[in-house]
Amino acid sequence: MTEFTFTVKDSSGIHARPAGLLVKEAGKYSSDIKILHNSKQADAKRIFSVMGLGVKCGDSIKLVINGEDENLAKKELMEFLSQNL
């Protein structure tokens, strides 16, 4: 299991478009990927779950990745989030 924290810089937070992109990116990996925000948890491969977190600009999220390709997923998701959120 690996994890990392990211602070959202997109002025709109994680709304429909970036949530869809994030879900598509997370779907590339066989690992289980969870997003934690405040007291909520979401499956990063399900758009309504991600949007239900209500993440706004300046909020920090934690991604917890567990599975065979967790290190690759962590590396590429960190890059993805930096470029898109």
Q: Which sequence positions are flagged as catalytic?
A: 15
Show Cβ contacts of residue 25 under 8 Å, excluding neighbours closer than 6 positions.
Answer: 76, 77, 80
Distance CA 23, CA 58 (A): 20
- Residues paired with residue 61 on neighbouring β-strands, in sequence order: 6
**Which conformational region is residue 31 in: left (phi greater than 0), alpha (psi within -120 to 50 degrees), or beta?**
beta
Residue 65 corresponds to which tokens in the numbers above?
Answer: 């990745």
